[in-house]
Structure 1
């Protein structure tokens, strides 16, 4: 007789519930949130057919660790698990959540979520860190402008050497100089760290064939290509290239029931950072690229017919779907394409 387990993960401890084939509880314990402790508890109730864990911050590390120890673990979508657990009408406690996850493992009523590799999470960490550094620098620049404006000095727009030179021309008022000097020292360190992140991203992109292919698309740079490749991670998990657009929430939301059938805005599900970068790449193609190629011509027709915003979304959808390795084509080849590319439906 095989058993099933549900793991309710938290930062310090994990509630583990093990049930048999008939749904009867065999054990319910709280153990340390580390793969070794969890695996030791599960081994005491072998054989284990399947263990279930929800997606979350610590899920990647726990999943990879348990799978290396030979535990048959499945990571499921947390939103679906939440709805299923709420339907059980039990009090919200860790033991009840773990028991509910164990029942999902036994019945198979779940949607499995892909757990990205550590390398993919590493690339995403670099991109996220760079994004936060840029946001912090913009806040510092705005704070410096605000302090200077109080005393009648207007540094103006920009962020380069001219901007710094205008700040140095600020009147030497007691307190203002010291405040600006402190902010500029932090800003200088911020700029240096941002450049270091850019160097790491260039190194990552130079070692990835997928990134090189992606960067042949006009408007797609190092950051967009690296983020897209890291989000996809394993191309074989997508059966069709059109599924990539839905994965990043770039397809319209549909509601159909009886005589009601309407299509709304895009779902905006999945990786928001990659969706934003793809949108910016499509906007660059429409507004900044001076070359004429099939993708731009197709997007411009949509812009004239439906508006620029929908054309950007359509361009982002096409970039994401057409660069999928299983699609058999590379969007960078659209420069010499004779006809208009077919949009991914």
Structure 2
């Protein structure tokens, strides 16, 4: 007899439901949301053929922790599961969700998703932290500029010693303004130090990764883009075709077809937003700053002439994703970041 389990995961507790092939409930339990506790709860029931749970913030930790303990766990697409669970129970409770997920495991009506390795998630966290810090730096500089304009001072562009000198000079002697400016400048310096430390870590990771160094041979692709792309792909072999990267990163047009209606819209913008943005920036650099002769650039310029520059950048970003994945897939020495 085959058995199937569903896990409804929350931050503190996880509801477990085990069904048999006929859909009868064999066991139900509530465990702490840790791999150890969930594996222990599953051991009280017959060995399951498939154990499913939805994607979420805790998915990487639970997936890899349960897999290490020999649990046949599968992470499924949460949007598809949400639509299916709505039809299985009138009342939405954690217990009913666990039962519904077990039913999906029993029927096979689910879409498994790839769970990235924990090192890849660590790299993604580093890149996202840098993005947030850069945003904080820009916010602080804009705040300083806004306060300075009230007193008739126009400051130079940021990230220069002249910026700090003029801020302190124009606020010197004004009781309230001087303290405000010095506090904002001190916060800005702290943020810049944190960004510099993260940049140092990124350069160190790139130097250690042969895959990143190879990707950086593509014009317009820098350390952050190469590192973010390798972390997003994680395992090149999970994509059967390199051109699937365009859809995975949300760089392909949406299509809606129903009866006589059939139109193509803007790009889907699904997947990793940060990687999509970095590829778009790399495409822009290749189109506007790279001076060498390149067939890929000529192809994108031809698109810009037929349509517009924005569509050319998107098409080139999609092509860059395909090329970079092909480079990773052909690298026999590739290792996840």
TM-score, normalised to structure 1's length?
A: 0.92
- Equivalent pairs counted in the alignment come to 330
Q: Which runs of 5+ in 2 are unaligned?
A: 332-337
Mark the CA change 1:116 to 1:328 in structure 2 (over 3 Å): closer, same or farther: closer
CA deviations over 1:276-327 (Å, ceiling 9, x no partner) = 1101111111122222211111110000101001000000000000111378
Aligned to 1:221: 222
Calculate the aligned-residue CA RMSD, in Å.
Answer: 1.5
Aligned to 2:47: 47
Aligned: 1:110 with 2:96: no
Aligned to 1:278: 279
* Range that drifts further, 92-101 or 145-154: 145-154
Contact 1:322/1:329, CA 8 A, preserved across alignment: no
1:222-261 equivalence runs, <5 A: 222-261=223-262
CA drift at 1:328: 7.0
CA deviations over 1:165-214 (Å, ceiling 9, x no partner) = 22122142001111111111111111111001001111111111221121
Aligned: 1:95 with 2:104: no
Aligned: 1:148 with 2:148: yes
CA drift at 1:262: 2.0
Mark the CA change 1:327 to 1:14 in structure 2 (over 3 Å): closer, same or farther: closer
Aligned to 2:72: 72
CA drift at 1:29: 1.9
Aligned to 2:291: 290
Aligned to 1:335: none
Aligned to 1:129: 129
CA drift at 1:159: 2.5
Contact 1:299/1:315, CA 8 A, preserved across alignment: yes
Aligned to 1:15: 15
CA drift at 1:257: 3.3
Contact 1:218/1:285, CA 8 A, preserved across alignment: yes
Aligned to 2:334: none
**Does the residue aligned with 2:182 lie in a helix, a strand or coil?**
helix
Rounded to whole Å, the distance in 2 between the matches of 1:106 and 1:326 is 39
Mark the CA change 1:164 to 1:326 in structure 2 (over 3 Å): closer, same or farther: closer
**Does the residue aligned with 1:240 lie in a helix, a strand or coil?**
coil
Aligned to 1:309: 310
Contact 1:3/1:45, CA 8 A, preserved across alignment: no
CA drift at 1:149: 1.6
Rounded to whole Å, the distance in 1 between the matches of 2:290 and 2:201 is 27
Contact 2:141/2:158, CA 8 A, preserved across alignment: no
1:14-33 equivalence runs, <5 A: 14-33=14-33
Rounded to whole Å, the distance in 1 between the matches of 2:305 and 2:328 is 28
